[in-house]
Structure 1
């Protein structure tokens, strides 16, 4: 049941590339963050056995912290050469 989710995530990444090409001439940069599961109230509601199974599948062996997402956003804002790309902040789950 992940087709819709995967297709949507891929569409956003492709959109960011297109926007960079279309809007760059106006000095507009684009960027995207594709997070894995983040340590939030939603993640805390997972059944313990499901949470543990999910964490074991992450090469980093943990969930992302909200502060790490903020750090990624800060990087995108502050780096004037970053545009048209997606930062995958997923602990290495994508192969």
Structure 2
């Protein structure tokens, strides 16, 4: 049984962001790639919020791995500083 993007989205809708909304409504997900049981995507947040999002990334990865047919789940947390911010 092959894994679909919709299955991944349905699963991620059950993970809550630090903002208290489902991950799928938090406007932080990159495109989701699903190929041969491998799922890849990133969670893109502001650098100032990165620490708060790490546990959400881990929850999302665990939830995706629990989908039948998923052999690999790689979820990256990317945090960018806003333009003009100090390094």
Category of TM-score, reference length = shorter chain: under 0.3
| Larger relative contact order (CA 8 Å, sep ≥ 6) | 1
Task: Say which structure is richer in helix.
Answer: 1
TM-score, structure 1 length as denominator? 0.26
